[in-house]
Structure 1
């Protein structure tokens, strides 16, 4: 019987202050949403254990401050990351416009061996907030931006209503597994399923009772 060794994956979450990074993580790990906004100071992390295909995975998810004075956390913070999550507010155009800055900041600090293949996931949060016209326009731009950077998965979520949060982070885990390289990789016979078909089915069924939300489609 194969050894079911748990894989530790480090995930960095970046984005402007107030886009809901902490709320997404709290909803995913603790199934809680806090109405009062409290800015993250510096950086903090939470962990979540899950099963991805036949792998036991521990996600170590690092939350970061979006304020300018806390942006330069240093290369040591980014080192060893297996995936980077870029979060923006679907109703705040400026938070999307700064994704390029966060994308560049991560690549500069993490300095991955091959920047063109390092896994990113983009999350457009706060789809529960009224503002359909702005949201649809921003999501279109986000998908175009992601497509131009190697078809980065782009997912809409609501931390408040727990919409697509589990789906998004499961996608993150799968993307991170494509980057993680265990020393005994050959012995473990790692086979990563890139299709995400099961996740797509779950996302569509969840959207059936949320007709005012745009249908989600994962690109990973």
Structure 2
């Protein structure tokens, strides 16, 4: 009889230890996931942040150079976003940025990397970009979704194979690609403004 009581007490203790261990493991995994999300995601939009984007592209550049593979960076800047903040306030502006992020997630491919650089600037990393028609399709959907705010975007594209990698490290190649995509975005923005006059 005493042996049965000891076994029951030990079983009860073992059950308690197992529950605490399971709770500890689940809690540790949750904290790890939350910490990782905070480290790589933009807190407002839930898109990847600039740091993640840069780390990802540096690795992609290494792979691209090693395997002779190309990829594109699309630099996106929202057109007519400032009046939303000026006329409706920053809370509404933040809501619009969240909706922009959702639309980008829905209209670009699941495996494209979308990041918010800050403010109303975004980048998309696309491997095997077939042509710019895909981006134009996204812009049409975008303009329809935000027509009440007269919101659109300008973009510029840079490809890895456009940059001469000799004597440059991966970070320098990334910077050159961003500069090139940003310049092309600005040129497109100016051209669009010129045509609207």
The answer to whether the superposition gives a TM-score over 0.5 is no
Structure having greater relative contact order (Cα 8 Å, sep ≥ 6): 2
Larger radius of gyration: 2
Greater fraction of residues in strand:
1
TM-score scaled by structure 1? 0.28
TM-score scaled by structure 2? 0.30
